[in-house]
Structure 1
Amino acid sequence: MSAQEDGGRKDAGHYPGLMGRINAFIRYFQNAGRSKFELYLTRSGKYADMMRGILARYGLPGDLIYLALIESGFSPKAYSVANAAGPWQFIAGTGRRYGLRIDWWADERRDYEKSTHAAASYLRDLYGMFESWPLAAAAYNAGEGKIQKAVARYKSDDYAELIRHRYLKQETKDYVPKMLAALTIAKEPEKYGFEGVKYEEPLEFDKVTVPGGTDLRALGLLIGVPYESLREWNPELRRFCTPPNQENYEIRLPIGYGKIAEEQMEEIREEAGVTFLLHSVKKGESLESLADRYHTTVPILQELNGLKGTRLRRSARLVIPVTGLSGEEAVPGKELSSEQVEAALKRFDDGGRRTRTVRVRKGDTLSRIAKRTGVPVDELAAANGLKTKGRLKVGRRLRLPGTAVQLAGNPVDSPRGGKKERKHVVRRGDTLSKIAKTYGVTPQQISERNNLREGQAPRRGRVLHIPLES
């Protein structure tokens, strides 16, 4: 019998040894846990069809989607105190083992498609190991090693028998009954008192491949999709841009906007690509003025430079993200190579190795701390097991998921080929001759470096590479 047939032919009634626990969880969901369960049912409409389709491609029963219900309530933003993330609640090690990217730029545990593929692959492996869905589900919760030891210790592969002993944690003993209770109600919600559930519409979206390092704000301006919407469609992206250390990255867009993006891909490549420059702070400059000048935001500058507040030290070096839509002259500094940026960021890759904390002050709220640190309220709450509007104890240290530290390093002389360069963002009134005169080069040199046709005027907002003499 296949894994799909084995799981697909069984419901709660096929596990008589678990019925007492299953019924207890059904009553819990009907009463104390009712509001959350109703929310999870509502949200299931958005993700269930997509998840079932992926599970079927791996030969797995569709009912396994209810693991995601009890793990996260189908929320891509779910983050546990045990550092598990996403709808399937992968810890970093297991996520990476099953092909998920987890670093400073992206956490694909939060990608509802990629994480479902990873979960399906993992569950298929677990079923192959135990040939029992209750044991496979228990291993998903406790780890395969723990369940293997339990089977060996008690010489039984019967989940109902194993949970009678003290070896497994209570969470694992409850895990399968809780899932089966959720499955039972979800299949017949009216029967269990959940009438009139308003399911969210199933996901529908376009996909398009954009270059690595595409600024989502600039992309949104070019194609007419709000930045917040782009972040919602692509919850795995942890920063304001696609990972710059990856040549191309596939993103989701609302239906109809994939075609618009494809038609504007040349403009996207020219104007939405992020370049990181090093800027030496001058007297009178502030994060607000720099953010305004380069069309970025204060939280992004804080994030890239590990800044808690907004005060700047004169001569401090800041990493500034610049796109073709920045609309100002280039930073009076040198372009950072992707290798330099990546080398620095690896030091604070937050895949469970380094996490900054913040101490709660008198009068602090999550909103105030979020504003101070640049970490969204919902991420702060999830990372610390708090309610978004809950009270905070003065002196408590809160984890700041995905925070950074000051980027060090010297500016590079050459982004390519060993030649020194500067960057210039074309402004109103600029001509090749005027730009060339400013930097002491010829118009032909600028045209050749930027692949401009003879006589072609650079478009306002475009970033030009200016070759300089060594």
Structure 2
Amino acid sequence: MTQLRIYHFYFILVVACAVNSAYGQIVADTLRLDKIGFKSLFANDTFNPNQPYLSQLSPKAVPFVQEYIRKQGKELTKMKEWGRPYFALYDQILTQYGIPKEMKYLSVIESHLRSGLVSWAGAVGPWQLMDYEAKRFGLKLSPIDERTDYTKSTQVAAKLMKELYEQFGDWLLVVAAYNGGAGRVRQAIRKSGSRDFWDLQYFLKEETRTHVKKFIGTHYLFEGSGGLTTMTKQEATDFKANAATKMVQLLTDQELETTTTTTINGRYNSRIVIKFLDMDLGQFTKWNPDFDKKLSVGENYQLRLAKDKLPVFEARKKEILAESIRMLLEGH
């Protein structure tokens, strides 16, 4: 490695470490926001992760979701692969603005991620922004229409969604307002006397209520087993508590007595952690399921280690993170 490449690597490493700390706080703020989430979409009081997601949906949602999957499933399944770079960008920007990452599926139903799409009403870009909204948030429409820019348009969409959420406190109603306008959603709330989408939907235009159901169907297709943002605040709390309890139940009394946990975030890699701590792969995986997956999307993680290994990790965590990032940059 030349001296220039060495300097370049360490510059990236320093920046990554600095960003990591700030990003962890952003993620924490997002998770607090996600606890409110969507109004319940499920038939029962709580979501059971051990049962099929579709069978638990509100009966009002199931017929549409089934038909939507039949018509759009093949195309959207392909999008899971080719759309990854766009979704990665969306995740990063939405998180910065405190928006649940699942709201990226709004861009899917708005434009199928097409930057050059122009609607009959004049909305443009992957987020289908109207000219007056674009101007309000500082986008330029000429000589190049910045609504077609994925980064800039996502930033504006995030600001707009944040405004709408502050009004309605429900992400399903944000989807409705994004499509049909906040005024029409407020009117539907007044006429129905409810803030529940299933109660007020028929006071919205058919296009708008269909838009919300497309969002639900797309969310189901991409998330598979659902997500925290489709649960009420209590459902999300119960789900997290149940998941943590199940993990503890898998451990023996001896494991519980001899291990401890610490909260981490950043692009740590399990193989690097195992190497530095001289741990068994099977043991590490049992104690730390989905380690790489959750850290790769910016989530905090409760790392479980043997009590005698924790001081070693704390003393060498910067080295472990540095080597993990270097491994990532080298494409492994």
For normalisation by structure 2, the TM-score amounts to: 0.51
Label 1:22 to 1:153 Cα distance change in 2 as closer, same or farther (>3 A).
closer
Counterparts of 1:182 and 1:15, CA distance in 2: 16
Deviation at 1:54, TM superposition (A): 0.5
Alignment of 1:150-161 (within 5 A): 150-161=188-199
Q: CA deviation at 1:31?
A: 2.1
Aligned equivalent of 1:100: 139
Taking a change above 3 Å as real, the CA distance of residues 109 and 158 of structure 1, as seen in their structure-2 partners, is same
Pick from 102, 105, 108: which aligns with 1:66?
105
CA contact (8 A) 2:125 2:147 kept: yes
Matched residue, 1:41: 80
Aligned counterparts of 2:192 and 2:40: Cα–Cα separation in 1? 25
Residues 41 and 186 in structure 1, CA contact (< 8 A), matched pair in contact too: yes
The answer as to whether partners of 2:95 and 2:101 remain within 8 angstroms in 1 is: yes
For the structure 1 residues 60 and 84, does the alpha-carbon distance in structure 2 shift closer, same or farther, using more than 3 Å as the test? Answer: same
- Of 156, 160, 183, the residue aligned with 1:118 is 156
Q: C-alpha root-mean-square deviation of aligned residues, in Å?
A: 2.7
For 2:189 and 2:183, locate their aligned partners in 1 and report how far apart those are by CA, in whole Å: 10
Correspondences of 1:446-465 after superposition (within 5 Å): none
Q: How far apart, CA to CA, are the structure 2 residues paired with 1:160 and 1:44? A: 30
Deviation at 1:111, TM superposition (A): 0.5
**Paired position in structure 2 for 1:134:** 172
Determine whether 1:181 maps to 2:217: yes
| 2:65 corresponds to | 26
Q: Higher mean Cα deviation, 148-157 or 2-11?
A: 2-11
8 Å contact 1:154–1:162 — kept in the other structure? Answer: yes
Report the Cα distance in structure 2 between the residues aligned to 1:137 and 1:58, rounded to whole angstroms.
17
SS of 2:208's equivalent? helix
Deviation at 1:67, TM superposition (A): 0.5
Structure 1 residues 31 and 154: CA distance shift in structure 2, 3 A: closer
Aligned residues: 186
Q: Which has the higher strand share?
A: 1
Summarize the alignment of residues 74-93 of structure 1 with structure 2, pairs less than 5 Å apart.
Answer: 74-93=113-132
1:33 to partner: Cα distance: 2.3
SS at match of 1:119: helix
**C-alpha deviations, 1:158-205, integer Å up to 9, x for none?**
111101x3x31111112222212111111239xxxxxxxxxxxxxxxx
With over 3 angstroms needed to count, the CA separation of the structure-2 counterparts of 1:12 and 1:162, relative to structure 1, is closer
Question: Per the alignment, do residues 178 and 15 of structure 1 end up closer, same or farther by CA in structure 2, a change over 3 Å counting?
Answer: farther
Measure how far apart 1:9 and its partner are. 6.9
Q: Secondary structure at the match of 1:80?
A: coil
Change (3 A) 1:137 1:8: farther
Q: What is the deviation of 1:89?
A: 0.8
Asked whether the equivalents of residues 142 and 172 of structure 1 are also in contact (C-alpha less than 8 Å), the reply is yes
Distance 1:110 1:21, change over 3 A: farther
Instruction: Say if 1:29 and 1:37, in contact at 8 Å, map to a contact too.
Output: no
Alignment-mate amino acid for residue 169 of structure 1: K
Contact preservation (8 Å) 1:23, 1:181: no
Work out the CA distance in 2 between the residues paired with 1:35 and 1:177.
18
Matches within 5 A, 1:62-461: 62-103=101-142, 105-163=143-201, 165=202, 167-188=203-224
List structure 1 runs of 4+ shifted beyond 6 angstroms.
Answer: none
Matching residue's letter, 1:114? K
Alignment gaps of 5+ in structure 2: 1-27, 45-56, 226-332
How much does 1:86 deviate? 0.9
Shift in CA distance, 20/87, structure 1 to aligned 2, threshold 3 Å: farther
Query: 1:409-438, CA deviations, whole angstroms, 9 ceiling, x for partnerless residues?
Result: xxxxxxxxxxxxxxxxxxxxxxxxxxxxxx
Structure 1: runs of 5 or more not aligned: 190-470
Q: Is the 8 A contact 1:126 1:139 kept in 2?
A: yes
Note the C-alpha offset of 1:30: 3.1
- Name the structure 1 match of 2:262: none
The percentage of aligned residue pairs carrying the same residue is: 29
Larger radius of gyration: 1
- Larger relative contact order (Cα-Cα within 8 Å, sequence gap ≥ 6): 2
Residues 435-460 of structure 1, C-alpha deviations (whole Å, 9 max, x = no match): xxxxxxxxxxxxxxxxxxxxxxxxxx
1:22: how far off? 3.4
Residues 1:185 and 1:13: Cα distance change in structure 2 (over 3 Å)? farther
CA contact (8 A) 1:8 1:63 kept: no
Deviation at 1:153, TM superposition (A): 2.4
In structure 2, the CA distance between the partners of 1:81 and 1:46, relative to structure 1 (3 Å rule), is: same
Counterparts of 2:61 and 2:120, CA distance in 1: 26
**Are the counterparts in 2 of residues 4 and 60 from structure 1 also a CA contact under 8 Å?**
no
Cα displacement (A) at 1:50: 0.9
Q: Is the 8 A contact 1:22 1:178 kept in 2?
A: no
The one-letter code sitting in structure 2 at the alignment partner of 1:84 is A
